[in-house]
Amino acid sequence: MNLVRDEAGTTMNLEKWISALLLLQLWCFSCESCGKVLVWPMEYSHWMNLKNILDGLVQRGHEVTVLTPSATVFFDPDHSSGFHVEVFPVEISQEDLVSVFENSVLLWSYELRMLLALEYGAALQKQFFEYSRLAKLKCESAVFSKDLRKTLKKAKYEVVLEDAFSPYAELIAEIVGIPFIYSLSLTMSNTYGKYCGGLSLPPSYVPVPLTTLTDKMMFMEQVKNILFFIYLTFGFRLLI
């Protein structure tokens, strides 16, 4: 009887040790598989799209830090559910930022479809240059801050996740010494899709974004789409 009890006790202890070892392995695996992600966000629908990705990363145990300027429209540092926040000061007023984006939404949603081709291009160019000015100020505020650079390097992030329509995150990644990942649904004339994604996007069949054209184009609409494609390809390269 004692022998049977000893064997039973040994078996139970062995099972406990095996269970503890398995739990330890699972814990170590989960810790190793989680990473530290630095995020360079964009406003409006771009932020909504990126936030869905970030929520998924947080749920999987990744540590997500959003690098945001002091002037922002959609991202609220005081209500950043699940995210860490690194705020840096910028010489941009909240009103100036809101005005630029509201004018962009108004232009793309209502005004572009009523403009002639030359007017269309001029309006987009003006909007691009205004946004480029704000993006440059945002980048300079982050890059020229010695304290911020020191903080980012000390945090030992593993990757920068950025919305490609908000430029200069590549520079942040280079300064910190880590790789970066783009998240973006479209670009003007599908530039990133063609050259980064290797997608086949012939302008005679695929409508250029923000032209209000569809995939069912008559001949003159195809000609119009090709002209927009040429113009926006050149203009977007100037922007980036």
Minimum mean pLDDT among 30-44, 94-108, 159-173, 211-225: which range? 30-44
- Phi and psi at residue 164, in whole multiples of 5°? -65, -15
Rg from Cα positions in the chain: 25
8-state DSSP, 208: P
Residue 238 to residue 240: CA distance in whole angstroms: 6
Range of 1-10, 54-63, 185-194 with top mean pLDDT: 54-63
- Residue 150 is predicted with a pLDDT of 92
**Portion of the chain with pLDDT greater than 70, in percent:** 73
Residue of 171, 175, 153 lying closest to 162 (CA atoms): 171
188: pLDDT strictly greater than 80? no
Residue 92 to residue 201: CA distance in whole angstroms: 37
158: pLDDT strictly greater than 70? yes
- Residue 162 is predicted with a pLDDT of 86
- Residue 14 is predicted with a pLDDT of 54
Residue 47 to residue 73: CA distance in whole angstroms: 10
38: pLDDT strictly greater than 90? yes
193: pLDDT strictly greater than 50? yes
Residues 6+ apart with CB under 8 A from 67: 38, 39, 40, 41, 86, 88, 142, 152, 172
**Mean pLDDT, rounded, for 216-221:** 87
Largest CA distance in the chain: 98
The band of 32, judged by pLDDT with boundaries at 50, 70 and 90, is: very low
Distance, C-alpha 233 to centroid of its chain = 21
Higher per-residue pLDDT: 197 or 221: 221
If you average pLDDT over every residue of the chain, what do you get?
A: 77
Dihedral sign for Cα atoms in the order 51, 130, 139, 208: positive
Higher per-residue pLDDT: 155 or 30: 155
Residue of 126, 130, 93, 89 lying closest to 111 (CA atoms): 126
Which tokens go with 65? 């830090």
- Under 8 Å between Cβ of 159 and 179: yes
195: pLDDT strictly greater than 70? no
**Portion of the chain with pLDDT greater than 90, in percent:** 13
Residues 6+ apart with CB under 8 A from 65: 36, 37, 38, 39, 83, 84, 85, 86, 155, 157
22: pLDDT strictly greater than 50? no
145: pLDDT strictly greater than 60? yes
For 87-139, write each residue's pLDDT tens digit: 899 888 888 888 888 888 787 777 777 777 667 777 777 887 888 888 888 88
The band of 37, judged by pLDDT with boundaries at 50, 70 and 90, is: very high
